Amino acid sequence: MLVLGNLIIIGLILKISVNYQLLKNPPAKLNSVGRFLDLRRIYLS
């Protein structure tokens, strides 16, 4: 349970930081989303 909670918290932090990057730098949108999906794939595997 603790591990799952930590992953959810990390995921939320990543999501917020990606959204912040999108607001600051819209052209980097695809790169940020791709990076976030790669990180999620690592966590889920």
Judged against a pLDDT cut of 60, whether residue 28 lies above it is answered with no
**CB-CB contact of 39 with 17 (8 Å):** no
Tokens coding 43: 């966590």
CA 10-23-8 angle, 5° bins: 15
Q: What is the pLDDT of residue 37?
A: 77
Of 29 and 33, the structure prediction assigns the larger pLDDT to 33
How far apart, in whole angstroms, are the C-alpha atoms of residue 25 and residue 11? 21
User: What is this structure's pTM?
Assistant: 0.43
Q: What is the pLDDT of residue 30?
A: 63
